[in-house]
Structure formats: structure tokens, C-alpha cells
């Protein structure tokens, strides 16, 4: 299958997660993505701890060019590169890209077909000058409140706002690309962490509007279903099970030999079961705890009941479904270690779109790209403009 975005050039002035995630999605979909890094490479490459995986996960399949944007000649390289781009993505601090002369107003004159994507903490409004992080947005937008137990706001366990913000950037960029086919003109796009968070917690805002009662943090929530929880098993390996329809309630009772529960006709309607949760759950927990997790999974497999062993990220390297379906891509890290990382989670005509998976070294493609712009890479390198 031909890569759907083959022939498109994306130029990135990005770091950390939100901007690189948008570029990585476009790379998997077939675009040529050129990452502009400072000489020596994006500092994200050298993060430790929880940031150690940012660069390999969100920069696979891109080309790397190192340029000193503090020099006039370096800015000229960047401007010429932007003139060749279909899409430009940046997530610098508010106002930084404009001060470099690489904002929409400057570049749209140079390249009227350019789709210029700026990713910030906030869209236009009183907060727009603030610097934000994934944590900041989660705390302000109510996601941390909903994730932790009452009184203990907790950041989600992945960079969900950065990544979702990158996804919304891609949606907007592809929309603008489609519109460009009609008008011949590019577009200016803004995406933001705070507004992304607000969109994700919109279901809880709507719950308050519908019920008149504020949504409780998820650990203290009143579930929409009586059985929708994590259960202990005989071997201590937890398992999530959800019974989300009345038909599945009957199946669940028969599957786990609970005729006394099915015999209660008043419990055959979901809302009645929710109200009787304190009576139902001890009986269910006691029954399920007599079985090992593997035995429960074997019984649940193919039943139509939602269930999930509680996995950890490191378990996914050997997940049989991901390995069989081609959901993981080989990636060689900077030190030569070969690993597997997840592809964009869609299939097109039955195939998983993917970039090469290569993780470019800093400036690996500088000379070729600079020469393609009609400039002399040898002279620029000697002057310390590129690396």
C-alpha cells in the first residue's frame, strides 16, 4: 500500500512530546518529516527518568537537521526549509517562533500554501501567555482531580494531554490540507494543552449538567454499572470485569454459576443492580476469588463480556496480540539497542501505516537537506551554522 501522505513535507521546530507526537503520526502516515534541532541535538534526547522514552517514541521515522537558529545564516536555512514545507509544526514558548521570524505572518508571505501549526499551553485568552506542561493542563482542567482519590489529585500515568493535543493538531492540519485543495491557500492552526484537557473532561461537565451533581473523582465514582471493577483472584493476579448490559448480566450469572443472583428478577435491570451494588458485589467477589486469573480468562474468552488482566507497559513487548497483528515496530535506539515501539493505532485497508522506524542521529540528514535548498553545507558547517 502506498503511504497515504507520501510526497508531503513536514518541518518540525519541536521538543518534548506534543509537537513531536504530531510529527510522528504524520511520519507513520507517509509524510517526510524533517526535525530541526539545535546543534548537538534536541535536549529531549538526553532526558532521564520518566522522560527517557520521549525521544525514541515520538521521533521515529524522521530526518534530522541541526541548525543554529541564533545566527542570521541559520535562520535563512530555516526560512528556506519552511518555504519547501506543506506543514510546519512548532511548540516553542509563546512568542518565541515569531521573534525568530518563523511565525505565520512571516512564513505565509514566503509560502502561501503553508499550513502552520502552533502548539501551546492555551488558546487565545487571558491565559495564553502562560507556559504550560501536561501536568499544568491536567491540574487546571480537572483531569488530575478526576483521576486521583478525593483530595489527592493525580496526574494520569502517561502524557495523555501532550499526545491528544498532538492528535488534534494532526486532525486540524489534515483538515487544512483538504481545504487547501479547494482554495490553494495554507492556514494558521493553534492547538493547546488546556483546551485539550477540557475537551477530554467534557463528559464530566455534561454529567453535572444532566444530573445537577458534580462528578466525583473516578476512585469514588458511582459507576453506571453494578459490576465494573477490579477483582481479586485465587492467585492474587487482579482482573477487571465489566457487565454493561442486561443480556451480559444473564450471561455472567450463568458463566460463573451464580443462579441466586439471576433468580432475583428485580436485578435483571441495570439501574436496579446499581442501586443494589452493596448487596451484589460481596457475592460476586467471593465467587471470583475462588478461581485463578487464567481460569477466569479462559472462561471469559469469547463470552462477549468485557474483561482485562491488569497489565504493565513492559508486558506489552511480548503481548501476543500486538506481535501477531504487527502493532509494534522495530526501532534501533541511539546506543544500538533494538526494541519494539507501538505504531499509530489504526489500520488502512487492513494494513498498519508505518514509517521506516529509523531514529536519526543529530544532524544525520543536515548536509543532504541543506544542499537541496541550494546552499553550501561545507561552508555553513565551517561557519558553525549547521551541525
Active site residues: 162
Of residues 319, 311, 362, 361, the one with CA closest to residue 342:
319
Contacts of 94 (CB under 8 A, 6+ apart): 120, 121, 128, 129, 130, 131
Q: How far apart are CA 277 and CA 273, in angstroms?
A: 6
**Beta partners for 239?**
231, 309
**Cα–Cα dist 253/293, whole Å:** 18
| Closest by Cα among 17, 343, 7 to 161 | 17
- Residue 200 in contact with residue 142, Cβ under 8 Å? no
- Partners of 88 in the β-ladder: 11, 116
59 HSE (CA, 13 A, CB side)? 31
Which 3-state string (H, E, C) describes 67-132?
ECCCCHHHHHHHHHHHHCCCEEEECCCCCHHHHCCCCHHHHHHHCCCCEEEEEECCCCCCCCCCCC
Cβ atoms of residues 370 and 77 within 8 Å: yes
The β-bridge partners of 118 are: 90, 190
Helix (H/G/I), strand (E/B), else coil: 23: helix
- Give burial (CB, 10 Å; 0-12/13-18/19+) of 244: middle
* DSSP secondary structure of 127-167: TTTS---HHHHHHHHTHHHHHSSTT-----SS-HHHHHHHH
Amino acid at each position: 500500500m502506498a503511504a497515504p501522505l507520501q510526497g508531503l513535507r513536514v518541518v518540525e521546530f519541536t521538543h518534548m512530546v506534543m509537537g513531536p507526537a504530531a510529527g510522528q503520526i504524520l511520519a507513520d502516515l507517509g509524510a517526510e518529516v524533517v526535525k530541526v534541532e539545535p546543534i548537538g541535538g534536541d535536549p529531549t534526547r538526553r532526558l532521564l527518568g520518566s522522560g527517557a522514552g520521549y525521544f525514541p517514541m515520538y521521533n521515529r521515522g524522521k530526518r534530522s537537521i541541526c541548525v543554529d537558529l541564533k545566527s542570521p545564516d541559520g535562520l535563512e536555512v530555516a526560512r528556506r526549509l519552511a518555504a519547501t514545507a506543506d506543514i510546519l509544526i512548532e511548540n516553542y514558548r509563546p512568542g518565541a517562533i515569531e521573534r525568530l521570524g518563523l511565525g505565520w505572518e512571516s512564513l505565509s508571505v514566503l509560502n502561501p500554501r503553508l499550513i502552520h501549526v502552533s502548539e501551546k499551553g492555551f488558546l487565545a485568552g487571558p491565559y495564553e501567555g502562560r507556559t504550560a506542561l501536561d501536568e499544568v493542563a491536567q491540574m487546571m482542567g480537572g483531569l488530575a482531580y478526576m483521576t486521583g482519590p478525593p483530595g489527592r489529585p493525580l496526574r494520569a500515568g502517561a502524557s495523555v494531554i501532550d499526545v491528544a493535543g498532538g492528535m488534534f493538531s494532526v486532525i486540524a492540519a489534515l483538515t487544512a490540507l483538504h481545504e487547501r485543495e479547494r482554495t490553494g491557500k495554507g492556514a494558521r492552526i493553534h492547538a493547546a494543552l488546556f483546551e485539550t484537557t477540557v475537551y477530554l473532561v467534557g463528559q464530566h461537565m455534561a454529567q453535572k449538567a444532566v444530573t445537577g451533581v458534580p462528578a466525583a473523582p473516578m476512585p469514588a465514582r458511582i459507576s453506571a454499572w453494578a459490576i465494573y471493577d477490579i477483582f481479586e483472584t485465587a492467585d492474587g493476579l487482579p482482573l477487571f470485569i465489566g457487565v454493561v448490559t442486561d443480556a451480559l448480566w444473564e450471561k455472567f450469572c450463568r458463566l460463573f454459576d451464580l443462579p441466586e443472583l439471576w433468580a432475583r428478577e428485580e436485578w435483571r435491570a441495570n439501574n436496579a443492580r446499581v442501586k443494589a451494588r452493596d448487596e451484589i458485589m460481596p457475592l460476586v467477589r467471593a465467587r471470583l476469588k475462588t478461581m485463578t486469573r487464567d481460569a477466569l480468562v479462559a472462561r471469559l474468552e469469547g463470552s462477549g463480556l468485557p474483561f482485562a488482566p491488569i497489565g504493565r507497559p513492559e508486558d506489552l513487548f511480548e503481548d501476543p496480540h500486538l506481535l501477531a497483528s504487527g502493532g509494534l515496530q522495530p526501532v534501533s535506539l541511539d546506543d544500538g539497542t533494538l526494541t519494539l515501539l507501538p505504531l499509530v493505532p489504526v489500520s488502512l485497508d487492513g494494513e498498519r501505516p508505518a514509517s521506516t522506524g529509523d531514529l536519526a542521529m543529530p544532524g544525520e540528514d543536515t548536509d543532504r537537506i541543506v544542499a537541496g535548498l541550494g546552499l553550501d553545507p561545507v561552508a555553513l558547517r565551517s561557519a558553525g551554522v549547521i551541525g
